Amino acid sequence: MEAPATLDSLLRDLRIRLQDAGIENPGLEARMLLGTATGQDTAQLIAHGNDAVTAEQAARVDALCQRRCAGEPMAHILGRRSFWTLDLRVSPACLIPRPETELLVEQAVAVIKDLATDAPRVLDLGTGPGTIILALKSERPDIHAFASDRSHEALQQAQANAAELGLRVGLWQGDWLEALAPAAHFHVITCNPPYIAPDDPHLTRGDLRFEPRSALAAAAHGLADLYRVIDTALAHLNPGGWLLLEHGFDQGEAVRRRLEAAGYHGIRTIRDPADHERTTLATKPARPRG
Ligand code: GLN
């Protein structure tokens, strides 16, 4: 086959290949891949549609397109993913930021506002590439931001993102709240833990095949880490402080029940734009129960 001659014709060719591979947004992804291969943004691609493409550019975009057609996530191919107002670096070592997690960020921003505390201390557990904590710190530069992850590679990614965005976050390696000193207290604790059941067929589809299993799946039908965080976070919250959790669409009731049993108050669940229960928040009562 003759090599496509211009940016426009190459774009068409890419779109057809992606469409044939069953990609949902072939036009958008074709532009993103061509933009990455040529170093041009969408406006430039449109303005320069008739420009000739070099053999090197054509080869580069062909390689990217092949990876995408083989199912590799766009976020891994581009090495970046937009989340909130940020453009985050991502790697196969961490969970790819997802739009539904912006719901948790929205709720956390509202909770922080209502605290009316100077420089509240906010902790994100299992931060991955820093998704939640960097969004919060960008929104509220006055918070003291902390985050942990069990994975060293994930922390490196979070560190790189924090440095690139010029946001200060205290990071440390640890399994949920385990590495914390018993006296460490926070106004807000956020967490998007792994919550998919290990036998859920979704794990064998789409982007999930390429993400760390440890960031996706948890024992006890996906509830093990949620329960662990619920049970241990209370001791590290200030009275009146809030815990915000992301969970599976069918886990809202189990999460609410566990929070109640652990002694939290003000428990409420927020639905995502797909109308699924997705984020539950709860507060530590000002006076612990009897
Ligand atoms: N929401 C993600 C999904 O279902 C899972 C993320 C997670 O386990 N925290 O694809």
Q: What's the domain range around 225?
A: 81-283
- Domain-ending residue, one of 70, 90, 108: 70
**What is the rounded average pLDDT of the residues 140-156?**
97
Number of domains in the chain: 2
pLDDT tens-place string over residues 230-252: 999 999 999 999 999 999 999 99
Which residue has its alpha carbon closest to ligand 1 atom 5? 216
In this predicted structure, the answer to whether residue 3 has a pLDDT above a threshold of 60 is no
- Domain-ending residue, one of 25, 46, 70: 70
Q: Which of 81, 83, 90, 95 to mutate to test the pocket of ligand 1 (most atoms within 8 A of CB)?
A: 95
What six digits make up the tokens of 73?
């996530």
Beta carbon of 126 within 6 Å of any ligand 1 atom: no
- CA distances for 225 relative to 31, 205, 263, angstroms: 39, 22, 18
Residue with tokens 């049970």: 231
pTM for the complete prediction?
Answer: 0.93
Beta carbon of 192 within 6 Å of any ligand 1 atom: yes
In this predicted structure, the answer to whether residue 183 has a pLDDT above a threshold of 60 is yes
Q: Are residues 116 and 247 in the same domain?
A: yes
Beta carbon of 211 within 6 Å of any ligand 1 atom: no
pLDDT tens-place string over residues 190-217: 999 999 999 999 999 999 999 999 999 9
In this predicted structure, the answer to whether residue 289 has a pLDDT above a threshold of 70 is no
β-sheet bridge partners, residue 146: 123, 170
Nearest C-alpha neighbor of 208 from the set 108, 105, 71, 81: 71
Give the torsion through C-alpha atoms of 177, 182, 186, 188, to 10 deg. 30
CATH of the domain at 24: 1.10.8.10
Q: How far is the CA of 247 from the centre of ligand 1 (A)?
A: 8
227 domain-assigned: yes
Beta carbon of 98 within 6 Å of any ligand 1 atom: yes
261 domain-assigned: yes
Cα three-residue angle 166-167-172, rounded to 5 degrees? 125
CATH of the domain at 173: 3.40.50.150
Q: Are residues 61 and 86 in the same domain?
A: no
User: Which run of H or of E encompasses 165?
Assistant: helix 152-165
Q: How far is the CA of 53 from the centre of ligand 1 (A)?
A: 39
Beta carbon of 244 within 6 Å of any ligand 1 atom: no
